[in-house]
Structure 1
Amino acid sequence: MGREKPVLKVGGRPMLLRVYGEAEKVGEVLVAVSRNAPKTRELCLREGIPIVETPGRGYVEDTLFLLREFGPFLSVSADLPFLKASDVMAIGEAFDGRTSLTGVLPLDRVPKDLHPLTYRGYAVIGLNAVGTEGEKFFELSNPLLALNVNTPGELKLAGRIARLVEKPFKAFRELHGGG
């Protein structure tokens, strides 16, 4: 997209802050950054978000680096603006600490306007549990996880969805003293 995706805004907030805020509700979160993401690092430092440096040689290499450094862990992409804490909790509860879990959505749960990466009849989601002994799919239920922001069109769609989904809840909270 020509820019670091984690710092792009959806609903007025950088996607990284949206994802971090939900993941943090479940447990300790470290943001993996490399020399390839200086604006993401800057955002984390400004917001007081803990980071871990990776070699920056690619997703697979960085994931293996993190596995060697920390052992099994949950991984979530910063470009999933509609991730919920319950999504992270669900995969975390199913993770046995050994077998990797790839988060997926059945295609019948994917909204019609979205065209996610598909494999074996599922939409592959950027929420995973990284283990050391094999891999299996883990079905998630949040249909908005299918919106992994990879293009300017998807960023625009995420902005429209954020306005539709979040404003009613914000207005409700304000009316009922929730700020």
Structure 2
Amino acid sequence: MIIIMAGGRSSRMGQEKPVLKVGNRSMLLRVYEETEKVGETLVAVSKKAPKTRELCLREGISFVETPGNGYVEDLIYLLREFGPFVSVSADLPFLKASDVVAIEKAFDGRTSLTGVLPPKLVPKDLRPVVYRGYAIVGLNAVGTEGERFFELSNPLLALNVNTPEELKLANRISRLVGR
């Protein structure tokens, strides 16, 4: 099971990120189209994301409502409801199906995997969250027994769109890569 996390407040953006467009497609649809190639996909929404829920209804995308008390709390809720799953942030406009396949293949169904990029792969204009020497990306596997890093290779996963400036950058990149 793949669950797209799309129910947050988007406080840094000031509006719901999943419905914002990169290259004339909403970020949620861009992510959904890639994850759907890999397997069953649900979108996690909350009361804090009414436009995202509307988009899911309009596009016929299956969704589940979470309590919306925070990212970690929602992950715990989803783990209880569905068991181990692959988690993808809705604000990763350059996610590829192959990224999801890579983490899914490495996931044993127990140990959580945090998707990371080695710093050498991160494009110089991007400022991702760095932890223990790696750039943390919004592609993970959620299990019940511990956690380890999983190195990914798509440099554009470092662009997690959280601010208006990052949205502008994503649109520039979209024009450059034709995606």
The normalised TM-score by structure 2 is: 0.92
Report what 2:112 is aligned to. 100
For structure 2, the residue ranges without an aligned partner over 5 or more in a row are: 1-12
Tell me the residue number matched to 1:8: 20
Q: Structure 1: state its 5+ residue gaps.
A: 168-179
Q: What residue number does 2:143 align with?
A: 131
CA distance in 2 between partners of 1:146 and 1:59 (Å)? 19
Aligned-partner SS, 2:139: strand
Which of the pair has more CA radius of gyration?
1
Match of 1:159 in 2: 171
Structure 2 counterpart of 1:116: 128
Name the counterpart of 1:57: 69
- Which of 24, 46, 52 lines up with 2:36 in the alignment? 24
Render the CA deviation track for 1:94-147: whole Å, top value 9, x for unaligned. Answer: 000000000000000000000000001100000000000000000000000000
Q: Once the two structures are superposed, what CA deviation does each residue of 1:11-67 show, in whole Å capped at 9, x if it has no partner?
A: 001000000000000000000011010000000000000001100111011100000
Q: Distance in 2 between matches of 1:24 and 1:97?
A: 19
SS at match of 1:32: strand
What is the percent sequence identity of the aligned residues?
81
- State the 1:166 CA deviation: 1.1
Output the CA distance in 1 between the equivalents of 2:178 and 2:64: 31
Query: Counterpart of 2:108 in 1: which secondary structure?
Result: coil
CA RMSD of aligned residues (A): 0.6
Aligned to 2:96: 84
Is the helix fraction higher in 1 or 2? Answer: 1
Distance 2:56 2:31 in 1: 12
The whole-number CA distance in structure 2 between the counterparts of 1:166 and 1:132 is 39
State the alpha-carbon separation in 2 of the partners of residues 64 and 151 from structure 1: 26
